Amino acid sequence: DQQVKQNSPSLSVQEGRISILNCDYTNSMFDYFLWYKKYPAEGPTFLISISSIKDKNEDGRFTVFLNKSAKHLSLHIVPSQPGDSAVYFCAAISGTYKYIFGTGTRLKVLA
């Protein structure tokens, strides 16, 4: 049972435009969410996080939005750059400190 779902396996966006990556979760006990970015042949790197007491967190070009009632979070990248092309994973944490990852979305930013 996939508790964290990224329903879009891939996404293509033009350079300079907004990239929106989506993530849905089923467990209402999750109270902390993170986004990781992964390049080929490298491990995932932490991008941005959000606590369930907030609905938005911003860091430069990256903004994460959390809609608790819909159990949905999204990552916005504005403006998108070719170097953003990677696989993006969302992850959720519950009280047991286990990270539950989604299956990833491959973002391709076209120059």
Residues lying near other proteins in the complex (CB under 8 A): 4, 6, 31-32, 34, 36, 41-46, 49, 51, 89, 91, 93, 96-104
Q: Which residues of 35-53 are buried (b: 16+ CB within 10 A; e: fewer)?
A: bbbeeeeeebeebbbbebe
**Residue 5 vs 76, nearer CB to other proteins:** 5
User: Minimum Å distance from CB 5 to other proteins?
Assistant: 9
User: Minimum Å distance from CB 35 to other proteins?
Assistant: 12
Q: Which amino acid is residue 3, in one-letter code?
A: Q
- CA–CA distance, 105 with 66 (Å, rounded to integer): 18
**Residue 15 vs 74, nearer CB to other proteins:** 74
